[in-house]
Amino acid sequence: MDFSFSKETQRLREEVRQFFDKEWPKENRNWRGWEQPDAPEFLEKAERLNKLLAAKGWLALSYPKQYGGLGRTLEEHYIFHQELLRANAPNLKAGCAVLLGPVILRYGTEDQKKRFNTALAQGEMDFCLGYSEPNAGSDLASLELKAVRDGDYYIMNGSKIYTTNAHIVRRCFLLARTDPKAAKHKGLSLFIVDMKTPGITIRPIHCMGDVRTNETFWDNVKVPVADRLGEEGQGWRYVATALDFERLWIYNTIWVRKLFDDLVAFIKTADRDGWRPREDPDIRTKVAQISVDLEVCQVMEYKILWMLGQGKIPYAEASMLKVWASELYQRMTDTITQALGPYAQLSQGVLGSPLDGGLIQQHESSIGATFLAGGSEIQRTIIAAAGLGLPAA
């Protein structure tokens, strides 16, 4: 089986890599900035970079040309996104373009495609995800935020939790209950909400790994009917599609491999008072096993990419990738942290600290990876039902 890319795609990879080498130099590529995208100095640099990416058409590389894209292949868009993540470059706007743009293209009205996809292509649009609620996390279909139709508007009331980046983005991909009498999966609708709409309150939640997310409160928020995505009552279907894209583009191999490569580079060069981890056979064995696991993850990712290119929805396959990549991330940070002993606990600015304190931060952040975008238990249920055809419990 040949997983190599075409010469044209390889040329694009080299072009993108050279671009990031020039426009996003090594001093910008720290893990701490990547995990704190709301820091003012980071936002300023990110805005400049996003304008350059938009000018080249790369943010929406695979979009049709009438919506601001270049009409290139999904494979080429994937290569661009890989290189962006490899460079630890700002990925909020680029991530929204690949995560939510295809959902709008698939289910949105012509007006929505022109408004939102074109804005995504120009780097003038970003989103947070209004899915989870205090009593509806893994069982997302139990959500209670209500959207009541009132003429040309819906009136929203309720709350959301873990709405990451809600405090810095323009729009929210909001899943709300429009029919409380329908079965819980059937009474949901999806909306694209302006975050400046009166009635939205945002409060921070600070998590392990020095990461911020938010809870949001919705008090009689008026949302135009024109900003409902697709048909009323079909929101679950649309969100399921969005989650499949999220599990490929956000929980993919490259961000785990990037961390792995940085850690291996540290292990190869670390030399503190006679301590040389590269000479430890136990550490070498563990690094080898992680390398094998990464290759498995990559093959799974290529299959999903191929399926999307064929117009298929990789429902079970995306869940497989999400489980494997997120658990590998957690397993890797835990294994390397233990293997490096007290050196792994060193924080930013301390001589000898792996990734300038990035390892301990990533170790803490990895705890959340297995339940964000759907917990591992839920993913395994999807794999059992959709992938293996097993009956529901």
| Residues 169 and 92 reside in one and the same domain | no
| pTM passes above 0.75 | yes
* Residue-number span of the structural domain to which 171 is assigned: 128-234
- Within a domain: 256: yes
* Spatial distance between the Cα atoms of 359 and 379, rounded to a whole number of angstroms: 27
Token duo for residue 159:
């709350």
Same domain for 380 and 282, yes or no, is yes
The CATH number of the domain holding residue 29 is: 1.10.540.10
* Terminal C-alpha separation, the chain: 37
Task: Give the model confidence (pLDDT) of 311-320 as tens digits.
Answer: 787 878 888 8
Residue 320 located in a structural domain = yes
216 lies in the same domain as 270 = no
State whether 255 and 296 are in the same domain. Answer: yes
Specify the CATH number for the domain of residue 137: 2.40.110.10
Most trustworthy range by pLDDT among 73-87, 212-226, 269-283, 295-309:
212-226
DSSP percent split of the chain into helix, strand, coil, nearest 5: 55, 15, 30
CA distance 217 to 229: 21
Q: Is the same domain home to 358 and 300?
A: yes
Q: Looking at per-residue confidence, does 348 or 317 come out higher?
A: 317
Answer yes or no: do 262 and 382 share one domain: yes
Residue where a domain stops, chosen among 79, 95, 125: 125
Is residue 345 domain-resident?
yes
Examine the domain organization and report whether 51 and 179 are in the same domain. no
Say if residue 341 is in the same domain as residue 296.
yes
Beta carbons of 373 and 251 less than 8 angstroms apart: yes
**Are 64 and 97 in the same domain?**
yes
State residue 69's pLDDT score.
92
φ and ψ at 94, to 5 degrees?
-65, -35
CB 305 within 8 A of CB 78: yes
